[in-house]
Amino acid sequence: MGGADLAIQTEALKKKYGDKEALAGLDLQVPRGVVHGLLGPNGAGKTTAVRILSTLLKHDEGTARVAGYDIASQAARVRYSIGLLGQHAAVDEDLSGRQNLVMFGRLYHIGKRKAQQRADELLERFGLTEAAGKPVKQYSGGMRRRLDLAASLILAPSVLFLDEPTTGLDPRGRNDVWESVRGLIAEGRTVLLTTQYLEEADQLADMISLIDNGRVVETGTPDQLKNKIGGDRIDIVLRRPHDVPRAARLMGTLLRSEPETDSDNRRVSAVVEDRVAALTTVARELDEAGIEAEDIALRRPSLDEVFLHLTGNGTVTSAEPSLKETAQP
């Protein structure tokens, strides 16, 4: 894929905090017009990557281009081509929603009248028109994040960085933000998404890069990553705990794969090739062996399993500061 087709491109990007290496040669390619998820354990380098790509932080080595511009030599052009939604709210809680957006517009020097017009457009787009005159402190969590997202779009950027966009939101608020992101993609924007919610990446991302110890360890679509740890699985929850070893032996013989067992939850799980045939055969053989099952289900591997398989236990000491700043014009 050529550089002209890429919204974000990094080569051997490095950054240290003291003697700790947050980025250890990050190579990343994000095509235009997609949601690209950046996942990894705490301290893996996700937030540092976003800070560098949004020109909030200088890198030590390597190169990167965003929206076609070099982040070092063309930083101002990068800033006017991106939007940034950080982990923490950037809006003023004492101002109204409309006042916040107008203020952001004025900070970007787009003129008072145009800032007011842009604010009204964004309030309508994100379903905030009725609450436009209320102080932000009266907004729900989901409304605040939608206002944050609106603020990041003042300049109609082609590339948007979303760093943990739904942290702390309830399911309704999270779904509201997801719908807003889907709308952005329908318009052809590129989104780089970091998130701790694996379901969020599964729902939104076209491609995912797993990052660990400051490097990309795997990239692919959600389905491609799931296939890395095996295909479909059959899960069985047994009625009696002492049947777990017997069920595991039986399934291992029938399916010719090594089952995984969870005695505490009376669960046996194994990889299958022919979904329907495996389900029918296992159910019949368990019944004939007198092994009672409370539940039998077929499922795909989850991104949680991929995450743990490819990045270890996901609990490392962070070398990164949190992303509290927003991009400045």
Residue type for position 58? K
Q: For 54-98, how does the pLDDT look when each residue is reduced to its tens digit (9 = 90+)?
A: 999 999 999 999 999 999 999 999 999 999 988 777 889 999 999
Q: Are 5 and 33 in contact (CB under 8 A)?
A: no
Give, in degrees to the nearest 5, the angle at Cα 305 between 301 and 308: 160
pLDDT band at 233; cut points 50, 70, 90: confident
Q: Are 70 and 63 in contact (CB under 8 A)?
A: yes
Q: For 173-199, how does the pLDDT look when each residue is reduced to its tens digit (9 = 90+)?
A: 888 888 888 888 888 899 999 987 778
Q: Which residues contact 48 (CB under 8 A, 6 or more apart)?
A: 15, 22, 23, 57, 214, 319, 320
Note the pLDDT of residue 3. Answer: 65
Q: Are 141 and 169 in contact (CB under 8 A)?
A: yes
Q: State the pairing for strand pair 82-85/159-163.
A: parallel
Note the pLDDT of residue 324. Answer: 43
Note the pLDDT of residue 13. Answer: 96
Q: State the pairing for strand pair 190-194/215-220.
A: unpaired
What is the chain's alpha carbon radius of gyration, rounded to the nearest angstrom? 24
Q: For 151-167, how does the pLDDT look when each residue is reduced to its tens digit (9 = 90+)?
A: 998 988 999 999 888 87
What is the overall mean pLDDT for the chain? 86
Q: Where are the alpha helices (DSSP H) in the chain?
A: 46-53, 75-79, 97-107, 112-125, 141-151, 171-186, 198-204, 222-227, 244-255, 275-288, 303-311
Note the pLDDT of residue 34. Answer: 93
By the 10 Å C-beta count (0-12 exposed, 13-18 middle, 19+ buried), 31 is classed as middle
Note the pLDDT of residue 1. Answer: 57
Q: Which residues contact 112 (CB under 8 A, 6 or more apart)?
A: 102, 106
Q: What whole-number percentage of the chain has pLDDT above 70?
A: 93
Render 182-246 in DSSP notation, one character per residue.
Answer: HHHHHTT-EEEEE-S-HHHHHHH-SEEEEEETTEEEEEE-HHHHHHTT-S-EEEEEESSGGGHHH
User: Residue 329: pLDDT above 70?
Assistant: no
* Averaged pLDDT, 238-251: 92
Residue 10, both tokens: 């990094």
Q: For 260-275, how does the pLDDT look when each residue is reduced to its tens digit (9 = 90+)?
A: 899 899 999 888 877 7
Note the pLDDT of residue 195. Answer: 83
Other C-beta atoms lying within 10 Å of the C-beta of residue 254: 18
Note the pLDDT of residue 58. Answer: 95
